[in-house]
Structure 1
Amino acid sequence: MDGGNTIITEAPAALNVEKRDLAKHPAVQILLPIAFALAVLGLWEFLVDFYQVPKVILPSPLDIYARAVSAWPFLVQHAVPTGTEAAIGFMLATILGITLAVILAYSKWAYAALYPNVIFFQLIPKIALAPLFIVWLGIGSSSRLAFSMFIAFFPVVIATLTGLNSTPPDMLRLCKALTARSWQVFLSVRFPYALPHIFSGLKIAVTFAIIGVIVGEFITAQAGLGYLILFASSQAETALILASIGMLCVVGLVLYGVVAGLEKLILRKYGH
Structure 2
Amino acid sequence: MSGHHRLATYFPAWRRPGLPVRARVHWRTCRPVFLPVLFAAAMLLAWQVLTVQLAVSPMLLVPPTAIWDVLAQAWPILAAQAWPTLVNAVVGFLLASVIGIALGGALVVSRRVEQAFWPHILIFQLVPKVAVAPLFIIWLGMGPTSRLCFAVFLSFFPITVSAATGFRSVDRTALRLCQSLTASRWQTFLHVRIPYAIPHIFAGLKVGVTVAIIGVVIGEFVTAQEGLGYIIMFASSAAETALVFAAIALLCVIGLAMYGAVALAELFVRRWYGAPINVGGFE
SS of the aligned residue for 2:259 comes to helix
Out of 262, 266, 274, the residue aligned to residue 263 of structure 1 is 266
Give 1:219's aligned amino acid: V
**DSSP-derived class of the 1:179 partner:** coil
Per-residue CA distance 1:156-210 (angstroms, 9 max, x = gap): 1101000000000000001111111111111110011101100000010011111
| 1:69 lines up with 2:65 in the alignment | no
Distance in structure 2 (CA, Å) of the matches to 1:74 and 1:26: 38
Deviation at 1:250, TM superposition (A): 0.6
What secondary structure is seen at the aligned counterpart in 1 of 2:56?
Answer: coil
1:164 aligned partner, one-letter code: F
- The answer to whether the aligner puts 1:217 opposite 2:220 as a matched pair is yes
Q: How does 1:137-148 map to 2 (within 5 A)?
A: 137-148=140-151
Mapping of 1:180-259 within 5 angstroms? 180-259=183-262
Deviations 1:88-110 (A, max 9, x none): 11111111111111111111111
- Aligned-pair distance for 1:125? 2.2
Percent identity between the two aligned chains? 48
- Say which of 142, 155, 158 aligns to 2:158: 155
- Return the alpha-carbon distance in structure 1 between the equivalents of residues 271 and 221 of structure 2: 40
| Equivalent residue number for residue 83 of structure 2 | 80
Q: TM-score, normalised by structure 2?
A: 0.87
Task: Give the Å deviation of 1:265.
Answer: 0.3
* Structure 1 runs of 4+ with >3 Å offset: 21-24
Q: Which runs of 5 or more residues in structure 2 are unaligned?
A: 1-20, 276-283
Deviations 1:75-129 (A, max 9, x none): 1111100000010111111111111111111111111121122222222222221
CA distance in 2, matches of 1:143, 1:26: 43
Summarize the Cα distance change of 1:87–1:113 in structure 2 as closer, same or farther, 3 Å threshold: same
In 2, Cα distance between equivalents of 1:81 and 1:142 = 11
The structural deviation recorded for 1:24 is: 7.6
Match of 1:35 among 32, 35, 38: 38
Contact 2:224 2:233 in 1 (8 A): no
How far has the Cα of 1:57 moved from its partner?
1.2
Instruction: Please state how far the C-alpha of 1:22 moved relative to its aligned partner.
Output: 6.4
- Counterpart of 2:75 in structure 1: which amino acid? W
How is 1:96-111 mapped onto 2 (pairs within 5 angstroms)?
Answer: 96-111=99-114
Structure with the larger RCO, 1 or 2 (CA within 8 Å, 6+ apart): 1
Q: Displacement, 1:49?
A: 1.0
Aligned-partner Cα distance in 2 for 1:169–1:23: 40
Aligned pairs, number: 253
Q: 1:168 aligns with which of 167, 171, 188?
A: 171
State the partner residue of 1:11: none
**Offset at 1:241?**
0.3
Contact 1:23–1:29 at 8 Å: present in 2 too? no
| Distance in 2 (alpha carbons) for counterparts of 1:103 and 1:34 | 42
Aligned partner of residue 25 in structure 1, secondary structure:
helix
Report if aligned partners of 2:150, 2:215 keep a CA contact under 8 Å in 1.
Answer: yes
Q: TM-score, normalised by structure 1?
A: 0.90
